[in-house]
Amino acid sequence: MRRFSNFEYYSVFGSNGFAVMDSYPGAMRIQKYIKHATLKGFDDFQDAEDWAIYQFEDRCPRKSGMILSLEVNQPIFFKNLQMDGVC
């Protein structure tokens, strides 16, 4: 069985933001700032990015297409997206 800390990238998604991190310690640190966070490991950045964007679009279908790409280790917080509190 594979250890969770052995992935190349980690997507973190929560009730106030999301991110793709390039280390397990980085993902654990950002969880302090992303509320109710779910963490998922990936071997490929594209897969990690796709999952994070899918989670965002699933939670906020009216904002579909708003996020086209992510940068590694750069969290996105909903308050910075001018989301008016409701998706």
36 occurs within a structural domain: yes
Distance CA(82)–CA(24), nearest Å, equals 29
Q: Which residue has the tokens 């009730």?
A: 15
Q: What tens digit of pLDDT does each residue of 28-75 get?
A: 999 999 999 999 999 999 999 999 999 988 988 777 777 778 999 999
**pLDDT number for residue 87:** 61
Q: Could you give the CA distance from residue 55 to residue 40 in angstroms, rounded to a whole number?
A: 11
In a domain, 39, yes or no: yes
In a domain, residue 74? The reply is: yes
Cα–Cα nearest to 36, from 12, 72, 61: 12
> pLDDT tier at 3 (50, 70, 90 boundaries)?
low
Residue span of the structural domain in which 55 resides: 4-81
Buried b (16+ CB within 10 A) or exposed e, 18-37: bbbbeebebbeebbeebeeb
pTM of the model: 0.85
The C-alpha R_g of the chain, in whole angstroms, comes to 12
Residue 87 belongs to a domain: no
Examine residue 44 and state whether it is found in any structural domain, yes or no: yes
Considering its fold, how many domains does the chain have in total? Answer: 1
Whether 14 shows a pLDDT value over 60: the answer reads yes
